[in-house]
Amino acid sequence: MAKRAINLKTRLLVLKQRFITAVALVVPFLAVLFIGTWLHFAILAGVVVSLAAWEWAALAGLKSPITRTVYTAVVAFVGLFIGWYLQSPDQLQHLKALLVTTAVWWAVALLWVQGYPSSAVIWGAVPVRLLMGGFVLVPAWLALLFLRAEPAGSWLVLMVVATVAAADIGAYFTGRAFGRTKLAKNVSPGKSWEGVAGGLVFVLVLGVIANLTIFGGNWTSLVAILLPTAFVSVLGDLVESMVKRHQGVKDSGTLLPGHGGFMDRIDGLVAAAPIFALAVLSTQWAVKVV
């Protein structure tokens, strides 16, 4: 009885810690997104990506603070350089090509997840994992900056974040209730295809509400955007879980009390943002708010 009471108390403390951390993250994010300028958002996104790069360096196998700092600086520089090159509207085709390349990368990552642990022969080396971090983080940063620059930019960024959250929440509850068929048992035994399906339903409900109240975009384009975005967000979670499992760690870091690291919080978003941006760029969905 006493042991149960201690466990309950511990869980409540963890939940309290997670709630405080979540509020501390969400409030500044929304303030910068809707009150700040594009530059303010770009800086915030750059800081988060840099912190995630610092954590990914450890997941890739770098142990020294110096080498991790160098890797973080390289990722930030590459993102800034490509972002500077693509800042002109005339470069949208090049941005689209980058996003298509990113989509191909995530398709390859799906094969690696399905083939784990055998696939670690391909990506297990430190240099390859470092390169993976670049493909994971830089396109996501650029995709978010593109979305924020759109006429309905703040809402588009919020939409992709909400899509990832809805897919995650829907998958969690549906998976617990109906999950039978394992999605990737060698990477994340708790995830199921039933959970993925439930997450997609949650996302569609969110999309309907958003399109009726905020965007007013084409309904076919809405479905064509949200479903791939939601599915790829699951893949982003799986890829990070795969690398963490290979490295033998539970969390990407300890920077966020109760939540692990920044990479743990944005693993779905870094996969979803480029796909969402590519779809928006291709369909011109939601070019203006209702």
> Hey, how many other C-beta atoms are within 10 angstroms of the C-beta on 126?
12
Nearest-angstrom CA–CA distance, 120 and 156: 36
How does pLDDT run across 120-157, given as a tens digit for each residue?
Answer: 999 999 999 999 999 999 999 999 999 999 888 999 99
**pLDDT for residue 221:** 87
**pLDDT for residue 133:** 95
Nearest-angstrom CA–CA distance, 7 and 30: 34
> Hey, how many other C-beta atoms are within 10 angstroms of the C-beta on 271?
30
Read off φ and ψ for residue 189, nearest 5 degrees: -60, -20
Helix (H, G, I), strand (E, B) or coil at 191: strand
**pLDDT for residue 217:** 81
User: And the tokens for 256?
Assistant: 């966020």
Contact indicator for 105, 135 with CB cutoff of 8 Å: yes
* Below-70 pLDDT ranges, the chain: 1-19, 257-259, 286-290
Nearest-angstrom CA–CA distance, 204 and 178: 19
**pLDDT for residue 219:** 87
User: And the tokens for 168?
Assistant: 């995650």
**pLDDT for residue 257:** 65
**pLDDT for residue 214:** 86
Is the preceding omega at residue 274 within 30 degrees of 0, hence cis? no
